[in-house]
Amino acid sequence: MQKITPFLWFDTQAEEAANFYVSVFKDGKVIEVSRAGEDGPAFIVTFEVHGQRFMALNGGPQFKFTEAISLYVDCETQNEVDRLWAALTANGGEESLCGWLKDKYSLSWQIVPKALPRLLSDPDREKANRAMQAMLQMQKIDLAKLRAAADGL
């Protein structure tokens, strides 16, 4: 078990959200659902995606998610970026800028191709700056457009 586990506060959608997240990520699974009473609603749901354990709490409406915390997903390919972007913005999610989005539960995510940090830290500062300027105009990161911008095309 990992030493630090993100603990996500939901109003009443902890179980629904956990089931959604494990459906979006290929190796996700719900580990445990603790209920209020034998047949009551979920109280705490423990789930895992890509080996990262999370806990989701039905804590009531007092607290909401903000962009002050986000989940960063390091994507291998543009196809992975596209698939996750579509799934996480579906049914009420919101696109933002520079690879950021909010899902339908208002949890913030960064969906980022692995190549982005390399492009932005290229030793050729002009190339890196062109990539940065292109990224600043994007919502979902488009790796082909970033590479073209970096190359001055």
- Cβ distance 80 to 74 under 8 Å? no
pLDDT at 18 (0 to 100): 98
pLDDT at 26 (0 to 100): 86
Q: What is the DSSP letter of 4?
A: -
- Cβ distance 75 to 117 under 8 Å? no
Predicted TM-score of the model (pTM): 0.92
**How far apart (Å, rounded) are the C-alpha atoms in residues 22 and 45?**
12
Return the domain boundaries, the chain.
Answer: 1-63, 65-153
65-153 CATH: 3.10.180.10
The CA distances from residue 11 to 6, 17, 34, in Å, are: 16, 11, 16
**How far apart (Å, rounded) are the C-alpha atoms in residues 90 and 137?**
22
pLDDT at 1 (0 to 100): 66
pLDDT per residue rounded down to tens, the chain (153 residues)? 689 999 999 999 999 999 999 999 989 999 999 998 888 889 999 999 999 999 999 999 999 999 999 999 999 999 999 999 999 999 999 999 999 999 999 999 999 999 999 999 999 999 999 999 999 999 999 999 999 999 999
**How far apart (Å, rounded) are the C-alpha atoms in residues 135 and 115?**
12
Amino acid (1-letter code) at residue 112: V
The domain defined by 1-63 carries CATH number 3.40.50.300 = no
